[in-house]
Amino acid sequence: MMSKEQIKQWIKEKNMQSVDDVQSALKDLFAETIQEMLEVEMESSLGYAKHDMKNKRTTNSRIGYSKKSSEHGEEDM
């Protein structure tokens, strides 16, 4: 959890001047967080880390990635 002072500092560091700037930064932050969560879920489900073919013990595999979009922006998945 960030304190009010930390949030103010973050806004200042990112040179945010408007509500749209803040919303854009939050979209980026949430997109990165969700992407990381999905990657961890994939590793857990498949039982091996990305690019770790040495420890792969399943016929399931990652197919690749493509652009996906949602109300929170567009991401490579």
Domain boundaries, the chain: 21-48
- Could you read off the pLDDT of 59-74 as tens digits, one per residue? 766 666 656 666 766 6
Residue carrying the six token digits 């990165």: 32
pLDDT of residue 15: 94
pLDDT of residue 34: 92
Instruction: Report CA Rg, the chain.
Output: 17
- Rounded mean pLDDT for each run of 10 residues along the chain, 77 residues in total: 91 93 90 90 82 74 64 63
Q: What is the DSSP string of 9-70?
A: HHHHHTT--SHHHHHHHHHHHHHHHHHHHHHHHHHHHHTS-TT-GGG--SS-------EEEE
